[in-house]
Structure formats: structure tokens, C-alpha cells
Amino acid sequence: MTCAEVEELIELYVIGALPQQEGREVASHLDTCPGCRALEEHAREVAQVLWLGVEQIEPSPALRSRVLALVRGRPEPVPLAGSYAPAPSRLRAILGWLTPAQPVRIAAAIAAIPLLLSAWLAFQVMELRSEVQSTETALVSSWNTSQAAADIMGKAMARGGAMASLDGTAMAPEASGMLYYMPAEQEAVLVVRGLPELSRGHVYQCWLMTGERRMNAGTFYRESDGRGMLVVKSPMAIDAVEAVGVTEEPHGGSMEPQGERYMWGRVRRV
Amino acid sequence: MHPGSDADQALVLRVAQADPDALDEIYGRYARSVYGLAYRILGDASAAEDVVQEVFLKLWRQPSSYNPERGSLGSWLLGVGHNRAIDVLRRRRTHQEQPLPEAGEPEIVPDGLVDMADAIGVRQASEAVRRALMHIPPEQRRVIEMAFFEGKTHVEISNELQEPLGTAKTRIRLGMRKLRALLEAEGIVTQLNDVR
């Protein structure tokens, strides 16, 4: 491209009105031409002050708190995958039912019931105890996950940390997300929002992509408000990964991506 | 004209030393502008807040990516915010056609929370930009808004307005040059002679 051609396009270039190829040609010329670079800087001044013509709007106070918490290494509480929030009250309800006084009343009631019904009731009690233990285990697991996520995000927000943004595909145009990580490490936290509800028996699965390789990074469920979170464990340093994606898979996940892709983001430039 | 530039640069130096209070102060100065711009482009409060968060976290993580020799801190923050918001808008448009926010008249909201010295400088510049935009022909203003606030290329603008390919190009170029002349007269941007 000649200087005359660049001079004709420079205003379009600084406000982003050039198609990609034309923009690259102008940028390439500017790399080698100080005279045109000076024109570009001057034209950019006008683009910069255009922003001053826009109404200033106060964002929510919560945003300021969130940003400051992130830079102070204390991530704001993040939503967890799955429905862990109601579980404590369910647990309390179940534990409350299984108080020491209850077994006595249950035994008395069972003695008055035909044998078949007693067996059915005993089976229900066994199922309930198993559910209590599962719920306790799930709660402990959720707590450990949230702690791990907080640690990773805290490090990512500190010096040397990194983030990669994800956008929704046609399957989830409103979705967006962020992968928080330390470049040389193999753990990261994926935080997403705006995901649609999946049909029963399906789960979101995260994939780390390098070349043709698709590495399973874990599955997660969507909260009722469309948010989700996953602690990602990678077989390689995160900054060696090229991209991260989220697909819909059957419950339990898949060995390879099978379902539709809902989100995608680039981790490093190739 | 870079209102508060010395104070801003001192704050950036503190950000580079990992002082969160310095970032908080910068946030207090510029978040309204960055959010206003992102909201103007995206028309969605939640998406605009995400852009604001990314902009200030970028400054926190990579303070060296701001070069004071290339412009004011405010311009840099707004530039990063503009680029990110346009990226989001273009991805949305690629996946699903959505109604875009009305490209209405830009308005200035007097802001009593910014330091008086900064407020005067920013308010004066904002009013000058608004006046300049009103003084260029409406068809030139329209295509500049379509490019700057809607992220459209001159090809997309020509198609949308059903005009010859070169017309949008010419209107953007002439509109921006007219704006520059008006803003130079007000001392908002440097004279071309100072640059060559």
C-alpha cells in the first residue's frame, strides 16, 4: 500500500471501519512508515475524543467491589456448579428427622404394621441414611472445590496471573466466561454465565484444545441463573493450551467432544 | 489536552507497584466513562459491566501496556473498553441478529464526583466534542456513529444504507477531518503542524 492510499484510509482505520484485510494492509504499512504513523496518531486523537461525547453512567457499586476484591486477591464469592445451596437445609431437615428420639417412635409404629410394610419402611430408612451420607460428601466436596477455586483465582489476579475470555456460540449467544489461570501451572478456574438450560441427562463439559487434541477438563452443571464454575485440571501448563471450549454431553461426560459447542475462547495466539 | 495527566501517571506507577488503592482511584475517575461507552455500544448493563471489569483488570495485570507517550490514561482505558465492547458486539452479530441500541444524540452528564480540576477539563472537552458533532453534516455523523459505536465496516455501512461502496468511505473520511478541524480550533486536539 502506498502512503497516498494509507492517507485516504487513515480515518477509517482509527475508528475500526476497515474490513480485516484492508486494516492489516494499513497496519503493515504503518509498521514501516514513520510519516504515516504520525498521521495515524493524529487521526487517532479525534477517535479518542469521540468517547468524550458519550454519556457517563455510574455502574453498580457491586461492580466496584468485585473489581477491587479481585485485585486484592480476594475473589468475590463465585457461583458453584450444581445445586449445593439448598442442600444444607435439606441436610438439616434430614438430620433433624433422625434425632435420637425418632427411632423409638419409628419402632413402635412399625410393630403395628404388617410384615411386608415393615420391610418397605426399613428399606426407605436405609435409602435415607445413604442419601444423608451422599449429601454430606457432596457438601464437603463442594466446600473443597470452592476453596480450590478461590485459591486459583486469587493467584490469577495477582502479578503474573492471566485470564482468557470465552464467548458464546450460536447455541448460547448470551453466554460469556473467563478462564482464570497462572500461565505455567496446570489448574485453572472457568467461570461462565448466560448458559441455557440443558435437557435432562445432559451436562456441560469443558475441553482444552491444542492442535487436533481435545483434552477433557471436567464437567459442570448450570445454576438456575445460567452461571457455572469449574476447577479445570490440565495435563499440560495452561499457557501451552491454544483454546478452551464448552460442549453439551451426556451425564458423566464423554471421551471426545460429541455434542454441540456452546462456548469458545482462545488461550494463546498460535 | 490530557486533564489530570500527571496525577494519572503517578497512579499508574503505583498500580505497577501493586497498590490496589491506586487502581481504586483510577476506577473512581474513569469507570463512569468506560461503562457509559460500553453500555452505549452493547445496550446491556451486564455485558457492559463485564467490559469495565476486563478493562481495569487489564490495567492491573499489565500496567506496562499503557504508554503515556501515546495518549492520556483515560483515552487508553476507553480505547481498551471500546475494542472489547466492539468485539462482543461483532460476535453477537455473527451468531444472532439482535436489535442494536439507538445511535441517538450523545449526551453529557455533569459529574460532581470527579476532582474539580479534572471535571472542568473533561466537561469542557465533552461539550466541545458534542458541539463539533452537531456541526458536521448528519449523514457524516451517522456513518461515524455506525462505525465507531456499532463496529461496522464501510462495506457493511454501504450495504445497510444501500449506497455506493465509496460513499460511506468518503463520508467517514470527510466527517472525521471536519471534526478534527473543529476540535483543533477549540484546542482539544493538536494542530497537524505540531505532528509533522
The mean pLDDT of A44-50, rounded to a whole number, is 82
Q: Measured between beta carbons, which residues in chain A are less than 8 angstroms from residue B49? A: 59-60, 63
Residue B131 has pLDDT above 90, yes or no: no
pLDDT for A122: 59
pLDDT for A127: 59
Q: Do B147 and A167 touch (CB under 8 A)?
A: no
pLDDT for B99: 43
Per-residue pLDDT of A90-107, as tens digits, reads: 444 444 444 444 455 555
pTM of the model: 0.54
CA distance A176 to chain B (A): 9
Question: Taking a contact as any Cβ pair under 8 Å apart, which residues of chain A between 107 and 166 contact chain B?
Answer: 157, 159, 161-163, 165
Q: Measured between beta carbons, which residues in chain A are less than 8 angstroms from residue B22? A: none
Written as one letter, the residue type at A30 is L
pLDDT for B27: 95
The mean pLDDT of A81-96, rounded to a whole number, is 38
- Give the DSSP H or E segment for B49: helix B45-61
Nearest to B81 by CA among B103, B51, B102: B51
Q: How confident is the model at residue B175 (pLDDT cuts 50, 70, 90)?
A: very high
Per-residue pLDDT of A139-172, as tens digits, reads: 545 556 666 676 777 666 666 778 888 888 888 8
pLDDT for B17: 87
Collect all residues with Cβ–Cβ distance below 8 Å to A93 and sequence separation of at least 6. Answer: none
pLDDT for B53: 94
Q: Measured between beta carbons, which residues in chain B are less than 8 angstroms from residue A58? A: 31-32, 35
Report how far residue B127's alpha carbon sits from residue B183's, in angstroms, rounded to the nearest whole number: 11
The mean pLDDT of A122-132, rounded to a whole number, is 59
Phi first, then psi: give them for residue B136, nearest 5 degrees: -95, 155
pLDDT for A144: 60
What would the grid cell of residue B177 be? Answer: 477531518
Q: Which residue has the higher pLDDT, B97 or B189?
A: B189
pLDDT for A204: 93
Angle between helices A115-157 and A61-71 (to 10 degrees): 70
Q: How confident is the model at residue A2 (pLDDT cuts 50, 70, 90)?
A: very high
Rg of the Cα atoms in chain A: 27
ipTM of this predicted structure: 0.76
Q: Which residue of B has its CA nearest to A69?
A: B20
What would the grid cell of residue B70 be? Answer: 501515546
pLDDT for A5: 93
Q: Which residue of A has its CA nearest to B27?
A: A64
Phi first, then psi: give them for residue A175, nearest 5 degrees: -80, 150
Residue position matching grid coordinates 428420639: A101
Q: Does A47 touch chain B (CB under 8 A)?
A: yes
Q: Does A87 touch chain B (CB under 8 A)?
A: no
The pLDDT mean for chain A works out to 76
Residue position matching grid coordinates 482505558: B77
Asked which of A104-118, A204-218, B54-68, B69-83 is least confident by mean pLDDT, the reply is A104-118
Per-residue pLDDT of A181-235, as tens digits, reads: 888 888 888 989 889 988 888 899 999 998 888 888 988 888 888 888 888 888 8
Q: Do A51 and B33 touch (CB under 8 A)?
A: yes
The mean pLDDT of B27-55, rounded to a whole number, is 92
pLDDT for A78: 39
pLDDT for A181: 87
Written as one letter, the residue type at B171 is R
Residue position matching grid coordinates 431437615: A93
Residue position matching grid coordinates 462482543: B88
Q: How confident is the model at residue B61 (pLDDT cuts 50, 70, 90)?
A: confident
Residue B97 has pLDDT above 50, yes or no: no
Collect all residues with Cβ–Cβ distance below 8 Å to A84 and sequence separation of at least 6. Answer: A138, A139, A142
Q: Does A66 touch chain B (CB under 8 A)?
A: yes
Q: Do A50 and B60 touch (CB under 8 A)?
A: no
pLDDT for B31: 94
Q: Does A70 touch chain B (CB under 8 A)?
A: yes
Asked which of A70-84, A225-239, B55-69, B144-158 is least confident by mean pLDDT, the reply is A70-84
